[in-house]
Chains A and B, each alone.
Chain A
Amino acid sequence: MNFRDIEYRFSLMLKFLSNAFSLNEFKRFLKDNRGGLMLSFDEIHIPDKDWLDYKRLEVDQSVKSISPNDLTKEFCPKVCKLVDEFHRKTVNEDIEWMLYFDYTNGEVIYCWKGEKGKAKGDFENIHVCNRKIASIHNHPQGFYSFPSPDNFDILENVHEDYEIIISYSAFWIVKFKGKIAKEYRKLFQQFLGGDMGRIISIIRTNCPKYDIDNITEDVIGNYLMNEIDKEIQGIDLLLVKKEFD
């Protein structure tokens, strides 16, 4: 058991002893293993363990900052700061982190600590349905910066307007306000998966090994920006890519 576990358990006991909970509420809280929920309930903020771990991540001051001008004007100043901080905290991580936040006020709704290559967690619709939600997650080193076909689940997520993807070399913003039916989302992803697979295969067959990753970043980035459909079922799909120099 490390210090973080001790502190987390101690905070739970304090809340219980302070009579902030009824016994039933406390039992429900103990069974809550979905992780990530940051909103306070009963006006008492309960820090989630993943959030505690995230807050304790080191901030790397050496990396180039993400300025508000790099982001959309719909993001409030607090969100711009959150995005920049997320980059600095996760740039050296070998696992994936994910936040859901309200981009009009910067309030973090959920925080999930994932593993190398993916992050997932459950959320209650009631916490996202009346908010303007953006997600942010990182692609650890060893993974390309661009969104994978799986990163276009946003097409079916009515609650998610923006998806920000942060990596070591660049960040991407995927904007899609609305929702398409599952079969169209799957069709889009299946086409994209096939296209990307073919592009990667041809690059790996024809290019020198030392250059494969740079070429792949460049070519697939270009493919996403210029070749895929940018209007899907009448809804605009916007992709933005910014490289860190």
Chain B
Amino acid sequence: MSNEYESNDGWGQAYKCGGIPMYPEEYHFHIDNPIEFSEDEIQDRKMRVDKFLNQYGFKLTND
């Protein structure tokens, strides 16, 4: 949710999410009108995360 700030006059809305719920609650990030990514962009991002997770012993990529 965004906080619109247009000028010194007028109103804004403050919103703070209380965090991601712990297991076993499910987490789904929602954003209005999400940006469409290409398949390549999606795979690049996934590879980046998996490479990071390798250091924890998950071995999701071959590096």
Contact = CB atoms under 8 A, between A and B. Distances in A.
Indicate whether A and B interact: yes
A150 B25 CA distance: 17
Nearest to A191: B45
Nearest to A152: B17
Interface string A113-149: 0101111111111101110000101111011111111
B14 A121 contact: yes
B15 A120 contact: yes
A127 to B, nearest CB: 10
Contacts of A96: 16, 18
Interface in B3-37: 3, 5-23, 25, 27-29, 31, 33-35
Contacts of A202: 53, 58, 60
Nearest to B23: A212
Contact of A194 (B1, B13, B45): B45
Contacts, number: 162
A60 to B, nearest CB: 19
- Consensus secondary structure, chain B interface: loop
B34 A100 contact: no
Given A125-B5, A157-B3, A187-B35, A137 B12 contact: no
Interface residues of B, number: 40
Given A96-B16, A117-B21, A124 B11 contact: yes
Contact of A118 (B12, B16, B20, B58): B16
A123 B23 contact: no
A200 interface: yes
Given A120-B15, A122-B11, A143-B21, 13 more contacts: A123-B11, A125-B6, A137-B16, A143-B20, A150-B15, A157-B12, A183-B35, A195-B48, A196-B20, A198-B46, A199-B49, A202-B60, A212-B22
The 7 closest A-B pairs by CB, nearest first: A193-B29, A143-B19, A150-B17, A139-B19, A117-B18, A137-B16, A96-B18
